[in-house]
Structure 1
Amino acid sequence: MDAVAVAHREHWGRLVATLIRVTGDWTLAEDCAQDALATALQRWPRDGVPENPGGWLMTVARNRALDVLRRAAVEDRKLREMAMIETPAPRDDRLRLIFTCCHPALALEARVALTLRTVAGVSTSDIARAFLVTEATMTRRLTRAKSKIAAARIPYRVPEGDALDERLPGVLAVLYLLFNRGYDGEPLLADEAIRLARLLGTLMPTESEVASLLALFLLQHSRRHARRDTAGDLVPLDRQDRDCWDRAAIAEAVQILQRTPVEGPYALQARIAACHATAVTPGDTDWSSIALWYDELARVQPTPVIALNRAVAHGYAFGAGRGLELLEHTRDIRDTYPMVIAVEADLTARAGDHQRAKDLFREAAAAAGEGPERRALLARAAEL
């Protein structure tokens, strides 16, 4: 039933967050929320969708939790708190849940999986498929993560002051990794990353990096229908059909950036993406601005991959020779990251040495293994 599916997406995080806060039992919270949705599937087609679906689900989930707690003979305080729950959880509960799922004591992949299951309500089977493991394996991983939270007494709260500043980048990193997994081939994860970024933005409206991350996701995701051809092969950015780009998503992202200060790496990445997304044709791309944004990004986040992208930007803005000069700073990842060779090949071709560029494209293809990236690199070599 569509109404139940919508309610699941909109209210799952609220239901689970409130029940965890009151009961302190993650499994009980998820089971009761799931029972409430199952009851809705039975009753709503017969009785109609209630005016307040979230409140209805919370009441059913609360009553189910009360029954379980009474049978377990828990202390009166928890029973009294459960009995007082009438409406969907306040925003703070969902924020607590996000920060708890993303606690640095957990491994990064465990944080991603737990966030998907507990905050977003994605099924364990779907998460397992995204991580290329069996459902049983993912169930064990989620169980271990919840057990670690309990055993380590990880607090169910939003950090404050300096602690918030320290923890927020970790939360954003989880969403970033989640989006990248989706961007590389699992659309469900990209969609969930965008939805969670929107949620985090409503809960933390004054955090510029939260807004910038949402803008970055929207800009990257706007090209999803143009990134591959009918054979499934990757299409370079300068050859994509820009009529297939999602202009509404681009416009929303640009509006977000217009009212958001540049205060961190996601803000810088979003502005680079905006330069690409707002260019009507490849020739309109403002490479000089992109190069300047990458200069700043390399200063605040000096990683080899950013250094590689900076070399590309400078190569297009100021000439292939300048790009090849900056590429020397990425030699330490050349053996493990075939894209370095591909970038060298592209810049070499633009510098006019087509024979060497062709050899480099083939070398990059061999290092990339099987798949669409290899085919794209070989196609570039064939063009030369």
Structure 2
Amino acid sequence: MALNFHADTPLAQRMRPASLDAIIGQAHLLAKGAPLRRLVEQNHLPSIILHGEAGIGKTTIAMLLADAVGRPFHALSALNTGVKQLREVLDSKDSLSFESPVVFIDEIHRFNKAQQDALLGAVESGDITLIGATTENPSFSVNNALLSRCQVYRLEPLDTEQIATVLTRAIKEDTVLKTLAIYLQAQDFISQLAHGDARKALNLLELAVQTADPQQSPIIVNDQLVGRVAQTALVRYDKDGEQHYDIVSAMIKSVRGSDPDAALYWMARMLVGGEPADFIARRLVILASEDIGNANPNALLLADAALRSVQSIGMPEARIILGQVVVYLATSAKSNSTYNAINAAMSLAEKDASPVPLHLRNGVSKLMREQGYGKGYTYPHNYSNHYYPQTYLPDNLVGTRFYEYADNQREQHSKQFMDWLKSQAPTSK
């Protein structure tokens, strides 16, 4: 039995939903009472930015929103549209039409400032309704002037059940697949490979059916068949995009939360995705001071040693060093007391510029000493325990506390030592 596929029309294109009701997923935006659904019911469509991963319906939703409110639709891609082409579209509005067209710009984050600025006037005047689609966080990739004129909506990747629904619908409803006897066993595996991307899931299904034994009926789409056509599961990790920041954040929060397994997982995701090992090591150095600090001073030493080792050795061996240090940091006592202390001190320093007390100034010349520089300063090493109580802050800040001892063994030991030291100090002059 020869399989008759429309080579010029991929399955994902054939299965593109024809109405908002046919969209699978995104209930937080499209269900009854949800924001985009309310806009359609009010026959009102403002300029919006759709933010989310590839293959989860941004383009389809844009087209269907325009259709639902009866507006003409112009699609552009930021990859091949310059300012000239953009202005031609903006200037093409029919002056007799009372409805502004919807201009859809895919990958709007790839527009430079000049291209984004070219949209401002038309969006602000209402000559067009802009729908921008981006896989990047709009806060970082769309300029503030344009962003302030748009509503931003986040689309979510499809879950395993939703991907299974997409695949089942394709087998039952697609003009080609419904003519075949297909037994789908690999829903979970396809979902795992697709990472919430409906388009990738449909592409995998189509490729599996196309490469199956044409004499077999029913066609059994199992994990082995999908694995062969997929070859390798592409790791979904964009080193330059939002996921870069999300996964770094997940690793840091896992270490801070003392979960070595989660920390190893997120670090492994970065390494497998091609994140430079020295970038990860630098983040761990910062974390060692910010989140562990004086609860375990060795953490900073180990993290710094790991950074230097990773830089000199490189991958793949650097993974061993990073694995060791991330487990050490995750299982270490934690404290952010010094992090809070320096932040509090800097916050005050931004507002206060009190002069250095005379007794703390360095009287390096006769004139300075005559002016009182260094007068009254007591050298602590001349006293027992190398300590002598005296004022080191400006008069108006005496008694100010930035550092508070955290409730871990090392810092409490330091507190006990300082309390003892003060109790043994001589009476100040």
| Larger of the two Rg values belongs to structure | 2
TM bin (shorter chain): under 0.3
Higher relative contact order at CA 8 Å, sep ≥6: structure 1 or structure 2? 2
Which has the larger share of strand?
Answer: 2
TM-score by length of 1: 0.26
TM-score by length of 2: 0.24
